[in-house]
Structure 1
Amino acid sequence: MANIRITKQFSFETGHALYGYDGKCKNVHGHSYKLSVTVIGKPNQDKNHVKFGMVIDFTDLKRIVREEIVDKFDHATVFNGNTPHVELADELKTRGHHVILVDYQPTSENMVIDFASKIKSRLPENIKLHSLRLQETETSYAEWYASDNE
């Protein structure tokens, strides 16, 4: 049986700031992120199974990505918790803002690495994460491929 890749796309709004950066992105700003999640596996061959012919039900993949990424990051502001931005994060939290502190600089590159780890941990054993594409702007994106990280 052939391996098949399937992809589901997601979108969410997230703010961030890059501490110590020498350009405009040092300021708090936001993006309309687009995340493409591609998994690979063999379609279910059990004719009596409700998921017959599927690598993974798109609904199941959607639930995983929404729980791990979209629901957490949508309309949140992300800061590197190992920088003085933690003070700004605390102030925003006291004012009722949704803030996420991460242990990395919240660039698209680092976010896609984090997302890959979170998604991989939730996939069924017979399904592998093939790739992620995190689009930050219309012309800029970061990609993660399992084959580059083996």
Structure 2
Amino acid sequence: MNNKIAVFRKEHFNAAHRLHSNKLSDEQNAVTFGKCNYSNYHGHNYDLTVRVIGEIDPITGYVIDTKILSQLIKDHVIEKFDHKNLNLDTKEFKNLNPTAENIAMVIYTILREQLDNRYELKIILYETERNYVEYPC
């Protein structure tokens, strides 16, 4: 019998970005990314769900203390990205197109470094109410 259980923590941050690839011409960027390629950037209200899977600790009854998980997310993700222009204000996206897919992978990498390897980790990032990504899948 599998004794693993999933714990979810939902957080929120706001950020601006511009989708643009240096590997495409200006015309190709405009066609590929549409309004998301406007040179003055645009913003999103991102909803972030972090899923941690592990076994229940027999002493605490927790997989992971959600207060600790929340603080890790706030310290290492929210503080880094909230109310920032991802293209201009963060080192993670200086040379990486800040698509929802890439943002989710960056968040995963950041949090993976903070969590014990006994935990499985999954990131679900909503860019809009209708558009979201999941990593890994």
Please give the range of the TM-score, normalised by the shorter of the 2 chains: 0.7 to 0.9
2:98 matches 1:106: yes
Aligned Cα root-mean-square deviation (Å): 1.3
Q: Aligned AA for 2:68?
A: D
Gaps of 5+ in 2: 22-28
What are the Cα deviations for residues 31-58 of structure 1, in whole angstroms up to 9, with x where unaligned? 0000000000011113xxxxx1000000
3-state SS of the aligned residue for 2:115?
A: coil
Tell me the equivalent position of 2:109: 117
- 1:1-150 map, 5 Å: 2-20=3-21, 21-22=29-30, 23-27=34-38, 28-46=41-59, 52-79=60-87, 89=88, 99-101=89-91, 102=93, 103-129=95-121, 131-145=122-136, 148=137
Alignment size in residue pairs? 122
TM-score by length of 1: 0.77
Percent sequence identity over aligned pairs: 30
TM-score by length of 2: 0.83
Q: Where is the strand percentage greater, Structure 1 or Structure 2?
A: 1
Return the offset for 1:119. 0.5
Inter-partner Cα distance in structure 1 for 2:35 and 2:84: 19
Q: Where is the helix percentage greater, Structure 1 or Structure 2?
A: 2
